[in-house]
Amino acid sequence: MRLVQALDHNATIEEQASAWCIRLASGHLAPAEQAEFDEWISAHDAHGEIFDRAQVAWRGLSAIADRPEIIAQRADALDALRRANLRRWTHKIRRDWRRVAALAASVVLVVLTVSLWSNFPTSPDAKPEVFATNIGERQIITLTDGSRLTLDAATKVTVLYEDDQRVLTLNDGRARFDVRKDPERPFSVTAGGRTTVATGTSFSVELLKNDLHVVLFEGRVNVSKAGSPSPSQTIVLMPGEKLVTNISPSAIPRIEQADILGAQAWENGQLVFIDEPLASAVEQVNRYSRTKIEIGDARASEITVSGVFNVGDIRAFIDAITDVYPLEANTSSGRVMIVSKNTSSLK
């Protein structure tokens, strides 16, 4: 394939240089492409000059990647992508469900699924099943009833399906639950001393060291104290709302407007923080990294941070927060200590 000629034939020299630069950045050239590149770059002095500018631009983009205005533009682009995908997937999923429903033969499917996927006998001696992910790992699990479990890194969920209820426990980390509707068998997730009950809906539960977050994407859930669901203390979440509570039993939960796109970003390998307390941001970043970040002083942990990060890019996270906020990072023996600048200079 003639690379540059595959472009519009009225492509400018700059556009041609861009095509070559990106082609070279992505790997080895095929023999025909080598000849073509040779031909192109020696065809005109201007080609070489503009190609040099192209590669300066290409590398320069990495040099500015963490500037606040660029981070804002990256967040905007990811947002646009997510919105576009959301539209696409909701159409697709609706279509797919209809097709599945139309399959009367799905009985066969279900039988197969049960034997392959689960050890959830629907008998009284049902046994719980444990799903867990390691650091930096994510996993999507389809349960026997078609409900879907999306596990973030360093997460553990215990699933117990009984005849009359679906009982899940989030032991660690964060998971999203896309619940297949079944009014006869309520679906509940217990974490941090609170139980979230749903019938057919989509929500995520996140357990941090001291806090519990529940974000509702669709449908309706009730959140109450685990073990003693008293109606007067039950909180009803509406779509787009986020419940935040300390995990101590006496804590009073508060309801916030959730950043829905940000709250789902981890499923696409992104962490989006908007005025996130540093302690909670660090805890999320740590799920993807063997090198752990710790916060050295209370002043630092009160700082709120904003930004978009690729999960696993702990270095970019540290660079960004120490660049933008009055913080500094000290690395020693496999961990990174974040301290506020003034505190350390007082020492």
Instruction: Enumerate binding residues for another protein (CB under 8 A).
Output: 7-8, 11-12, 14-15, 17-22, 24-26, 28-29, 34, 37-38, 41, 48-65, 67, 69-70, 73-74, 76-78, 80-81, 84-85, 88, 136-137, 270, 289, 291, 310, 312-315
Q: Which is nearer to another protein, 52 or 163 (CB)?
A: 52
Q: Which is nearer to another protein, 87 or 254 (CB)?
A: 87
CB of 79 to another protein, least distance (A): 9
237/256 Cα distance (integer angstroms): 10
Residue 293 has what DSSP assignment?
E
CB of 35 to another protein, least distance (A): 8
Q: Which is nearer to another protein, 77 or 111 (CB)?
A: 77
Tokens read off for 252: 């009073």
Closest CA to 344 of 324, 329, 331: 329
> Helix, strand, or coil here: 4?
helix
> Helix, strand, or coil here: 345?
helix
Closest CA to 211 of 193, 231, 188, 187: 193
Q: Which is nearer to another protein, 40 or 187 (CB)?
A: 40
CB of 276 to another protein, least distance (A): 20
CB of 77 to another protein, least distance (A): 4
Backbone angle region of 312, left / alpha / beta, with phi > 0 → left and psi within -120 to 50 → alpha? left
Q: Which is nearer to another protein, 85 or 342 (CB)?
A: 85
Q: Which is nearer to another protein, 73 or 171 (CB)?
A: 73
CB of 249 to another protein, least distance (A): 37
Nearest-5° Cα angle at 224, 221 to 230? 120
Radius of gyration of the CA atoms of the chain, in A: 25
26/33 Cα distance (integer angstroms): 13
CB of 323 to another protein, least distance (A): 14
Nearest-5° Cα angle at 91, 89 to 94? 100
CB of 232 to another protein, least distance (A): 46
Q: Which is nearer to another protein, 61 or 238 (CB)?
A: 61
Residues 6+ apart with CB under 8 A from 54: 14, 17, 18, 20, 21
18/5 Cα distance (integer angstroms): 13
Q: Which is nearer to another protein, 34 or 342 (CB)?
A: 34
CB of 157 to another protein, least distance (A): 20
Residues 6+ apart with CB under 8 A from 278: 295, 300, 301, 302, 303, 304, 305, 321, 327, 338
